[in-house]
Structure 1
Amino acid sequence: MTTFTPPPGTAAWRHLAARTGFEVVYFRPLPDGLRVEGCTTAVEDGRTWVVDYVIELDASWATRSARLASRSAEGRRQILLESDGAGRWRVDGAPASWLDGCLDVDLESSALTNAFPVHRMRLDVGAASPAPAAFVRAADLAVERLEQHYARLADEEGRQRYAYAAPVFDVACHLLYDGSGLVLDYPGLAIRAA
């Protein structure tokens, strides 16, 4: 089974190609999981936005809650996603049946959230799994279901690699992770800066 070292106290990514910007996160251990506090800012297609988030993960790295706040020229927005850890969700307190079966939150604005399914699934080399996620758009915090897939590839210079696919966005690429299971390189989207 794949193992990871504990996450660092902080990490950061520089957005590439698709947008210009930066993401910074802080990790705080909880008695039964992990709290991740972050902020990502960007200019994308001539529009600026900021997304602040606080995500709580259980001991298996399944998302239990995600509180997001965004700012853009269109104004401010907030949203709260809550999960029972077994694939049932509430969005701002209302049941969200379209997310049934999702165990992870995936933020369009974030490179960090691709760490959640990798940690949770702990795939061995050659193994693969679907990882549907509650996907939150950056500009308006709209919540959608995202079908995605991870396949563990052979390590490269001691770093884990995964073939990642999100067919609805026509995305298929190889993601490179460090020993703590955080993305180092997401082609066309982000590269680790710290």
Structure 2
Amino acid sequence: MSTFVDPPRQLAWRHQGLREGFEVVFTEPRWTIEGATTAVEERAAFAVQYAIDLTPDWVTRGARVASFGREVHLLADGDGHWHVDGVPDPALDGVFDVDLESSAFTNAFPVHRLALAVGESADAPAAWVRRDTLAVQRLEQRYTRLPDDPQGRSRFDYWSPDLACELVYDEFGLVLDYPGIAVRAPV
């Protein structure tokens, strides 16, 4: 089972490959995550700002995501039921994580919450927020814990309908390398 230490107060990822840009994240006050991504993808610039409320078990309780005059509010009850902009969204029933298309950080949520042992797999559907329209939809995902790499870092096989890859995490349970998308930047 993965045991991670508390993350630092500030983090950053350099987006590369699919998009070029940066994501910065601040983890104080504890359990409210604030961040922003600015990048260029397919010759179009975008910026997304967010605040995500988590429980100490890394279950998403709420999120505010904004981009150039558009904003979406998500509220979760912790039992797998969601409201999007105040309206119940039954398509998200059974979801415990938010996943922002613009963020490498949000891949930490299911890894922490599930605490998988090597060889274990779990489905981790997410409330996925598009970077361009801020539309929210259910994203099916699956994480499988792999043996640690030679440096002792946690590895996971990640699957969603549009992507399959291996993700490497640091001692904080944060993605170090999201192939073709982002790498952790020193802060």
Is TM more than 0.5 here?
yes
Q: For residues 116-131 of structure 1, what are the structure 2 equivalents within 5 Å?
A: 116-131=109-124
Please state whether the residue corresponding to 2:118 is helix, strand or coil.
coil
Matched, 1:90 2:83: yes
Aligned to 1:183: 175
Looking at structure 2, the residues matched to 90 and 28 of structure 1 have their Cα atoms a distance apart, in angstroms, of 25
Looking at structure 2, the residues matched to 173 and 43 of structure 1 have their Cα atoms a distance apart, in angstroms, of 22
Aligned to 2:74: 81
Q: For residues 131-146 of structure 1, what are the structure 2 equivalents within 5 Å?
A: 131-146=124-139
Aligned to 1:45: 42
Aligned to 1:64: 61
Gaps of 5+ in 2: none
Matched, 1:17 2:17: yes
Gaps of 5+ in 1: none
Give the structure-2-normalised TM-score. Answer: 0.97
Looking at structure 2, the residues matched to 154 and 113 of structure 1 have their Cα atoms a distance apart, in angstroms, of 22
Aligned to 1:36: 33
CA drift of 1:58 comes to 0.4
Structure (1/2) with the larger strand percentage: 1
C-alpha root-mean-square deviation of aligned residues, in Å?
0.8
Looking at structure 1, the residues matched to 44 and 132 of structure 2 have their Cα atoms a distance apart, in angstroms, of 9
Aligned to 1:154: 147
CA drift of 1:29 comes to 4.3
Looking at structure 1, the residues matched to 28 and 60 of structure 2 have their Cα atoms a distance apart, in angstroms, of 15
Looking at structure 2, the residues matched to 29 and 165 of structure 1 have their Cα atoms a distance apart, in angstroms, of 31
2:95 to 83, 102, 105: 102
Give the structure-1-normalised TM-score. Answer: 0.94
Structure 1 stretches (4+) deviating beyond 4 angstroms? none
Q: Figure out how many residues of one structure are paired with residues of the other and give that number.
A: 185
Aligned to 1:4: 4
CA drift of 1:2 comes to 2.0
CA drift of 1:59 comes to 1.2
**8 A Cα contact 2:80 2:95, kept in partner:** yes
